[in-house]
Amino acid sequence: MFKKILIANRGEIACRVIKSAKRLGIKTVAVYSEADRDARHVEMADEAVLIGPPPSRDSYLSMDAIIAACKRTGAEAVHPGYGFLSENAVFAKRIEEEGIVFIGPKHLSIAAMGDKIASKKLANEARVNTIPGWNEAIESPEQAVTIARDIGYPVMIKASAGGGGKGLRVAFDDQQTHEGFASCRNEARTSFGDDRVFIEKFVEQPRHIEIQVLGDAHGNVVYLHERECSIQRRHQKIIEEAPSPFISEATRKAMGEQAVALAKAVSYQSAGTVEFVVGADQRFYFLEMNTRLQVEHPVTECITGVDLVELMIRVAAGEKLPFTQSEIKCEGWAIECRINAEDPFRNFLPSTGRLVRYQPPAEGDGVRVDTGVYEGGAIPMFYDSMIAKLIVHGKDRNEAIAKMREALNAFVIRGISSNIPFQSALLAHPRFQSGDFDTGFITQQWPSGFRAEDVPHEDSDFLVALAAAANRRYLERAAGISGQLPGHGVQIGNEFVVVVKGQEGRHLHRSVTLDTNNAFAVTIGVRRYELEKDWEFGGIRATGTCNAQPFTAQIERHGVWLRVQHHGLAIDAMVLSARGAELMALMPYKPPPDTSRFLLSPMPGLLVDVIVHVGQTVLAGERMAVIEAMKMENVLTASRDGKVAEILANKGESLAVDQPIVRFE
């Protein structure tokens, strides 16, 4: 076994690898960029080496810097995590040539599976189901149209070196094929330096299901069941679960056996994933093989009881797999939610900055949190948007969903926006709960984007009751202050109006009654809420029971308003006397300032370029500036015609949300 390994990665996955290594008694070396100097993985490792400036290409993608760090620290092996250099055959080969062990498959296996065209040919040879299509690089749009007609519409146009949704188009007719081919080719050339494009049949109502495989250096390969990864947005996974609620036992077995056959065909050693697209008729077709650890590997670990990172290390050290196929169990149901730094109510734009509050739910009892951040730390703009992975394990799917909803309620994140409200809405959707979804689910349900009013809640008055009960706590504290004049102390009544903030001053007024014999019994209309809760002044998370049913919510005070959150829904409420509510209704509405004469930054990020100049006349839709955040470039365009009066931000400047960039005359 190795004495010391280096983790060529950052964030959540670096912390995850360090945990397994420490359990094996192996010393760990972290590498970090200047932006990650205070990162959690740097703190957790036994040693840490600075490898370059913040941009990935100068640090985490620098093979020379990582190899130098190995030599400097005496690391015997390198775990690449996922992303960055994890599927780079050149890197794996260089590591091996330096006499360092690559904790992953051999470079020949990575190369064989890294090319989509070559991997499809290999899959055919291994008798793995492949989607009907043209497996050679296509030279022209005209040839693409001819091939598409032969296969039959709809078709999928894909870049051979593509990934992450780039270089991919779906075409339903000749015109879309002609245009899609050109777009894919250009995108592939720009993003991957490889403009080869191929075409295959597009499976309608597809589900994305993947098989986890594990091989050793002694010729043993097993599959560890499947993961359902169909809940995706723009080809990025949002929720993953194991097992799948869709496929039959016969389909599961057939997919697993084909995945093993493919892994054996390339002498696969390590953890890997074979991805399939599965149609409504349960026919399945090979998509690609990911020759690395997947982001969603924890759900497989939950149902099998296997530590995949530990086994990757053991296999790399030459050990045999400790079990056979028949010994692999599948117990219960696991779900993973990716908690990302993005604003779901602003079209999921990245949200970077300081984590002012960060309190993940307590681990244990089937709840697990894999994270690389901490309270007070920063989410830098240079890398991906993941804050944490929240994983739950229940005895069945319904229990897992219920556990996940409560765990999301308990996840406190302040200072930046997160996608937790969207995750809550997904989990509450009837189609998700029934397992009736495919990869187009999110687009079908929210075609115009996700809005605050799209967050479902089975009983929004519950949040009103919580606001009334929290206000009662404040009043009780005020009533107990010493030194009050006799006859003029704070008197607590039992009739109140909860004013729920709305748009343009049109607030919702809800009359509530608090039982004088029970401080936390709240009546709203005909509903009565018997609350027993544990909530500290200055704290955010509130737990307790409502009508004997357990709940977790978040309550915090902002001036005279209370913000209450539960199941993704958030309200701002003010608790007043009946007379106070009458007077508030007479208050004039103060509209927000007019920002139509400004181009505002929709997210925190780096201002890469300002394309316009003072005095220039621009038309609606014309490019004005480029902002970079979390590995994505976002082009800002003019929302109306106008003339540039002033440039308010400079190229290279770090911008805050809603910071003005350009002022129009």
* Residues with a known catalytic role: 288
Residue-wise burial string across 399-410, b where 16 or more C-beta atoms lie within 10 A, e elsewhere: ebbebbbbbbbb
Q: Is the bond preceding residue 456 a cis peptide, omega within 30 degrees? A: no
CA atoms of 80 and 87, how far apart (whole Å): 8
Region class of 99: left (phi > 0), else alpha (psi between -120 and 50), else beta: left
Say how far apart CA 211 and CA 225 lie, in whole Å. 6
Output the CA–CA distances (angstroms, integers) from residue 514 to 466, 510, 523, 556, in the order listed.
11, 13, 6, 20
Tokens of 221: 């390969």
Distances (CA, A) of 629 to 230, 479, 632: 26, 49, 5
What's the CA gap between 203 and 28, in Å, rounded? 44
Q: Is 272 left (phi over 0), alpha (psi -120 to 50) or beta?
A: beta
**Owner of token pair 């056996």:** 257
Cα gap 612→657, rounded to integer Å: 20
Please state, in angstroms and as integers, the Cα–Cα distance from residue 50 to each residue in 82, 581, 631, following that order: 20, 59, 21
Closest CA to 513 of 529, 492, 496, 498: 496
- The Cα–Cα gap between 392 and 137 comes to 43
| Strand ranges in 267-348 using DSSP code E only, listed in sequence order | 270-278, 284-290, 333-340, 342-343
